[in-house]
């Protein structure tokens, strides 16, 4: 059969797959609508059915783009088509018509080589346009040393970039696939230089885990933490395109519900706040609010006055601390001890001469009355607030920052002082989160919990009453009806109905709940996170299931990681896996050669990733007067706007028309213009790393504009001018 005949055959097969997809969509949509209007089931069952059908609809809807991207022909003559989702023939024992790319049987599509064909004879890759197969390329195995064909890969790499990251499901390479499918339940570190695809590999790993561990993962979801909102927007389409939507995207500054911190501290302050020693500072700040009065505090009870002295407060404070409860919740212990002492002293004086000590009933009756009086006594409540105040994390940390005296008392560095204590920065978020654990729930939260518990109890009582009222009806049923009714009520369906009325999506519930825990967490640009940031993330994932993505050579944060063990060993000592990616898929060899010279200056021991392609376009540089720079930047912007693809102008802080390199981390553009690289390099101790980031954002073209002399590492560009 010739190429055209085979092409038509493949088109027909793929068209059949789309027909099957459309049929599945229609079936699921009908089931979804039926579940929405369903009767006869419990509300909980109906809600679960609606959510399950909705997830299935979304999974099928993402498959329109690139439903099938290739096939495998085994040495035994079997043919398997590989695609974005799995489809089965319901009329033929559910034989697979299309294998999900994550299925074990699909793995040779990504890993088979001429040297190790893994039982395969041929790999065929489709080039598709919408729902049509536009062409295909074949790779026939059998010759020792034959490498995988790169037609589909190179087409994807050379295509103009859009506004978001694309999945690589059709072009996953061998070293990437090995990481995606790695059977390691704990922490996996993926390190790679610019353009190695570490982010997209991590996201495909999440899709793989959600496919292979669906039941375990879907109830709690996945958290993806990235360096900034632009980056999260850039990657946000990847997992939905793979059919996975139970994913929360967050920056380190937005991990607390209701707070979005974007401001950054000065480097030296950020380094202090990021250190694990801040835990001791915060504990000391909390302990400093657990006070003993310098002078006795008089409290009037009935017609007498009793005092809260240092001895009483000291005893109560020690009992409260020994309880192990968070500060706000331990106040109940403190209050109980103080109340006990005051009422004992008051009873002893009030009942002196007429009430026998061994008259326990009279003693307890009087105590109960005095306890009620104290509960409403303004002076007593004020004394408790002074000695053991209820606090929120925001109140305590804001007060700490704004008071040099409180900072000194907590053993904190005086440079943490600021006039506006509540001017929150990104580095404050992990400290606030830590305080949530140290303080526990404040009064309003405790009241809300009590109200919710009371509501649940009332609902359960109502459900029990309904169940009791129905029991009498069973006496009038025949045996068959009696068994049916018993089955319906056996699991307390009515009570469960009340407990499952939250109609929010998993993502909505997780984002609103500071205490939500995830089954898996992805941390991108992980080298930027501080020790305190890692404490937050470990609280979010008690199961310690992480995919950690980063490049130590690109670290810019002063409190960031200098080694992976520094951050991970306190939590998973000796139990985290390390994998590296060494091939640069983004940056052409011409540009990477320039960036590698910068890397060699600040990280001589790090080997730059090897580019998989060259595009024949040399980077250029142009030296201008300072007055000419704005016009040259505008000229570049206008010229790039006329071309297909994306572009960015990166420069030092304060240069109009440019963005800082830090805001482009993890992003990629067809064309990049770097302005005043010497000034970027001079901005702080990690300036060279910033320049390295800037130079490696381009997928096609790189230009440099400068007034000041070029750094030595870029001097080779000085003779080249853009034409």
User: Residue ranges for the binding site for ATP?
Assistant: 192-199
Cβ distance 99 to 105 under 8 Å?
yes
Q: Do 537 and 547 contact (CB within 8 A), yes or no?
A: no
- Tokens at 394, concatenated: 């925001």
**Among 215, 218, 216, which residue's Cα sits nearest to residue 244?**
218
Find tokens 């793989």 and name the residue.
Answer: 208
Q: Are 650 and 674 in contact (CB under 8 A)?
A: yes
Q: Which residues are annotated as a binding site?
A: 192-199
> To the nearest 5 percent, what fractions of the chain are helix, strand and coil?
50, 15, 35
- Check: CB of residue 523 under 8 Å from CB of residue 568: no
C-alpha separations of 140 from 137, 273, 324 in Å: 10, 58, 67
Place of tokens 């049916």: 484
Q: What is the 3-state secondary structure (H, E, C) of 233-299?
A: HHHCCHHHHCCCCCEEEEEHHHCCCCCCCCCCCCHHHHHHHHCCCHHHHHHHHHHHCCCCCCCCEEE
Residues in Cβ contact with 589 at an 8 Å cutoff, skipping those fewer than 6 apart: 611, 613, 614
Alpha-carbon gap, residue 597 to 681, rounded angstroms = 13
DSSP 8-state code for residue 648: E
Q: Which of 330, 342, 332 is nearest to 296 (CA)?
A: 342
Radius of gyration of the chain (CA): 33
User: If 0-12 CB within 10 Å is exposed, 13-18 middle and 19+ buried, where does residue 372 land?
Assistant: exposed
Query: Can you give 69-94 as a three-state secondary structure string?
Result: EEEEEECCCCEEEEECCCEEECCCCC
Q: Residue 429 phi/psi, 5° resolution?
A: -60, -50
CA distance 646 to 439: 48
Going through 615-665 in order, the beta strands assigned E by DSSP cover 620-623, 647-650
**581: which strand partners?**
192
- The distance from CA 251 to its chain's CA centroid, rounded to whole angstroms, is 7
Q: Is 652 exposed, middle or buried (0-12, 13-18, 19+ CB in 10 A)?
A: buried
CA distance linking residue 592 with residue 610, whole number of Å: 8
Burial, 356: exposed, middle or buried (Cβ in 10 Å; 0-12, 13-18, 19+)?
exposed
């Amino acid at each position: 059969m010739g190429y055209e005949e085979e092409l038509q055959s493949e088109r027909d097969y793929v068209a059949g797959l789309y027909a099957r997809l459309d049929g599945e969509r229609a079936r699921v949509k009908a089931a979804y609508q039926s579940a929405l209007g369903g009767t006869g089931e419990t509300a909980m069952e109906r809600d679960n059915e609606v959510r399950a059908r909705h997830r299935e609809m979304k999974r099928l809807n993402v498959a329109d783009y690139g439903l099938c991207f290739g096939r495998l022909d085994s040495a035994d003559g079997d043919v398997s088509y590989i695609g974005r989702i799995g489809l089965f023939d319901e009329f033929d024992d559910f034989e697979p018509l299309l294998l999900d790319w994550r299925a074990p049987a699909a793995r040779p599509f990504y890993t088979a080589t001429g040297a190790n064909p893994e039982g395969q004879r041929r790999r065929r890759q489709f080039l598709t346009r919408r729902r049509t197969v536009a062409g295909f390329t074949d790779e026939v195995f059998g010759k020792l040393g034959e490498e995988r064909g790169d037609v589909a890969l190179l087409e994807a790499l050379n295509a103009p970039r859009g506004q978001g990251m694309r999945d690589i499901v059709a072009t996953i390479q061998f070293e990437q696939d090995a990481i995606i499918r790695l059977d390691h339940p704990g922490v996996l570190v993926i390190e790679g230089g610019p353009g190695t695809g570490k982010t997209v590999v991590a996201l495909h790993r999440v899709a793989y885990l959600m496919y292979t561990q669906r039941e375990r993962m879907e109830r709690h979801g996945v958290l993806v933490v990235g360096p900034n909102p632009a980056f999260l927007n850039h990657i946000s389409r990847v997992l939905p395109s793979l059919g996975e939507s139970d994913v929360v995207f967050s920056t380190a500054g937005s991990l607390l519900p209701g707070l979005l911190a974007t401001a950054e501290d000065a480097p030296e302050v950020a380094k202090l706040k990021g250190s694990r020693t801040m835990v001791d500072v915060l504990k000391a700040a909390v302990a400093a609010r657990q006070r003993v009065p310098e002078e006795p505090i008089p409290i009037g009870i009935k017609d007498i006055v009793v005092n809260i002295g240092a001895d009483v407060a000291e005893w109560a404070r020690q009992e409260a601390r020994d309880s192990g409860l968070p500060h706000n919740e331990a106040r109940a212990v403190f209050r109980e001890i103080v109340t006990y002492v005051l009422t004992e002293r008051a009873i002893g004086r009030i009942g002196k001469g007429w009430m026998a000590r061994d008259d326990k009933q009279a003693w307890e009756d009087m105590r109960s009355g005095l306890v009620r009086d104290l509960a409403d006594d303004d002076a007593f409540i004020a004394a408790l607030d002074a000695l053991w105040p209820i606090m929120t994390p925001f109140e305590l940390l804001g007060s700490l920052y704004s008071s040099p005296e409180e900072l000194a008392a907590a053993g904190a560095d005086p440079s943490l002082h600021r006039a506006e204590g509540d001017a929150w920065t990104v580095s404050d978020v992990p400290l606030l989160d830590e305080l949530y654990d140290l303080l526990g729930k404040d009064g309003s939260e405790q009241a809300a919990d009590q109200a919710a518990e009371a509501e649940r109890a009332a609902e359960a009582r109502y459900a029990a009453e309904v169940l009791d009222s129905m029991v009498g009806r069973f006496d009038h049923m025949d045996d068959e009806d009696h068994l049916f009714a018993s089955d319906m009520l056996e699991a307390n369906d009515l009570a469960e109905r009340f407990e499952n009325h939250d109609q929010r999506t998993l993502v909505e519930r997780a984002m609103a709940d500071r205490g939500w825990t995830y089954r898996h967490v992805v941390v991108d640009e992980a080298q930027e996170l501080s020790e305190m940031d890692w404490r937050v993330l470990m609280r979010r994932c008690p199961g310690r299931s992480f995919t950690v993505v980063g490049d130590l050579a690109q670290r810019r944060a002063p409190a960031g990681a200098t080694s992976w063990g520094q951050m991970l060993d306190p939590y998973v000592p000796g139990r985290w896996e390390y994998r590296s990616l060494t091939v640069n898929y983004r940056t052409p060899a011409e540009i990477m050669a320039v960036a590698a010279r910068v890397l060699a200056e600040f990280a001589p021991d790090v080997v730059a990733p090897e580019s998989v392609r060259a595009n024949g376009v040399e980077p250029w540089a142009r030296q201008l007067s300072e007055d000419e720079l704005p016009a040259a930047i505008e000229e570049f912007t206008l010229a790039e706007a006329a071309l297909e693809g994306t572009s960015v102008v990166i420069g030092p802080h304060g240069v109009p028309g440019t963005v800082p390199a830090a805001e482009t981390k993890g992003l990629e553009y067809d064309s990049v213009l770097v302005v005043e690289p010497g000034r970027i390099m001079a901005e702080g101790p990690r300036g060279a790393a910033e320049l390295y980031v800037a130079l490696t954002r381009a997928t096609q073209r790189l230009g440099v504009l400068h007034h000041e002399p070029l750094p030595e590492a870029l001097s080779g560009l000085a003779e080249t001018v853009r034409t």
